[in-house]
Amino acid sequence: MKQASNSAAEDSTDSPSVLPGGATGGGGSGGEGENRPTTGLVPLEEAEILHASLKAGSIAQIVVAMIAIVGLIYLLRFVMVTVLVSLLVACILDPPVSWLRRIGLPRAAGALVTLVLAAAMAGGVGYFLGGRLGSFLAEIPRYSHRIERAVNWIQSPIQKLEEKSHSLAKTEPSSDEAIPVRIEEGPIFSRIVAAHGAEIGKTVFAIGFIPFLTYFMLTWKDHFHEATVHLFPQEHRPAAYRTIARITAMIRSFIVGNLAVGLIAATLYAVVFGLLGIPYFYFLGIISGFVNLIPSLGAFLALLPPLAGGMGILTKTGVVIVLGTVVGTHALIMNVLYPKLIGPRARLNPLAVVLSLLFWSWIWGPMGLVLAIPIVGSTKIVCDYVDSLRGVGAWLGDKL
């Protein structure tokens, strides 16, 4: 009996013990199974490798999806720009359409009346600015000697530098005399049409759709609003409704605020340019006033029209006055008027604004500069209402 009990004890000592979680360990010290814990049937190291590979695969899928989205946005630029511009116009014209509806006019008739009046107003402004632009271009040859003198003043140090570089290189003149060739160019309008005919045709075609899209957006606004909200589950519909309403209010306040600020800046510039004796000061003031609304780049771009129009007329004091007026007005607009007129609906930090301007102008050209801030502002509003994207909204905003 004693011998049997001893053998049983030895068997129990040599047999592996079952650890919690399915791991087994030997009875001896320093066993290999003791140092290698397992999770179920898969070792812990293999589980970590599998998790890392899945995470890397998901990141790669996200990167590929983002590249595909950017490519799709670029390929559909004419369609998307047309739709977004129509949406901006519809947001501007919606208040008068709603007012006409409140006084008893059907929404379709109110949208038609509003569109006709807006088109007539835009046509009148375009006719006035087009006439001033034609007169300004016709007057340019009169100032050709001033422009040439300014260009020579800029080119003279460059020519001196080239002459010094050629003398240092000691290049021997060629014995063969060069035969001068004279190239005569056609009219500038013909050259532009020949070089960019396809793009101009697409642009005109897209502009032709804007009145129709705007009319249907105004007429079917309530239907599309309600249908868009019903795309979401029942528990998310209140947040979707608030998000759409906030985006609409942000776009409308952005456009109206920019229009008001642009008119203020254009009036100020026209007065200053007129006092300095710059030709067509009212036309150049309007251009500089609205170009100045572009964040960060507006101050530089707004300087080009008055300096070009006043070339040979402005003295050094006049140039300093133009620089101070444009730069000071831009700083006042961005730091005082923008926060007051646009308010908290589009609170974006400067880095997000500049990056959005760079990206959308690269994708869509000049229209990207117009649509960049409404797009990034709408993106921030959506991120603010989605829990998983609130960090992105905080990054885009100017407050945590």
Residues 301-336 pLDDT 10s: 888 888 877 776 778 888 889 888 888 888 887 777
User: What is the reported pLDDT for 372?
Assistant: 84
pLDDT tens profile 63-103: 788 888 888 888 888 888 899 888 888 888 888 898 988 88
Task: Report d(CA 102, CA 97) in Å as an integer.
Answer: 9
pTM score of the predicted model: 0.65
User: What is the reported pLDDT for 22?
Assistant: 44
Q: Are 105 and 218 in contact (CB under 8 A)?
A: no
With cut-offs at 50, 70 and 90, classify the pLDDT of residue 152. low
Looking up tokens 């249907």, which residue turns up? 216
Task: Report d(CA 226, CA 257) in Å as an integer.
Answer: 28
Tokens representing 116 are 């006709």
With cut-offs at 50, 70 and 90, classify the pLDDT of residue 16. very low
Q: Are 25 and 19 in contact (CB under 8 A)?
A: yes
Task: Report d(CA 216, CA 195) in Å as an integer.
Answer: 35
pLDDT tens profile 206-258: 888 888 999 998 898 888 888 888 888 888 888 888 888 888 888 887 888 78
At residue 147, the 3 state secondary structure works out as helix
Question: Count H helices, E strands: the chain?
Answer: 16, 4
pLDDT tens profile 35-74: 544 444 456 677 777 777 766 667 777 778 888 888 888 8
Q: Are 318 and 325 in contact (CB under 8 A)?
A: no
Task: Report d(CA 81, CA 369) in Å as an integer.
Answer: 11
Tokens representing 86 are 């129509």
With cut-offs at 50, 70 and 90, classify the pLDDT of residue 200. confident
With cut-offs at 50, 70 and 90, classify the pLDDT of residue 130. confident
With cut-offs at 50, 70 and 90, classify the pLDDT of residue 145. low
Identify the bridge partners of residue 25 per DSSP, sorted by sequence position.
Answer: 17
Q: What is the largest CA-CA distance in the chain?
A: 128
Residue 158 has pLDDT above 80, yes or no: no
- Of 138-152, 190-204, 341-355, 385-399, the least confident: 138-152
Average pLDDT, the chain: 75
User: What is the reported pLDDT for 117?
Assistant: 92
User: What is the reported pLDDT for 258?
Assistant: 81
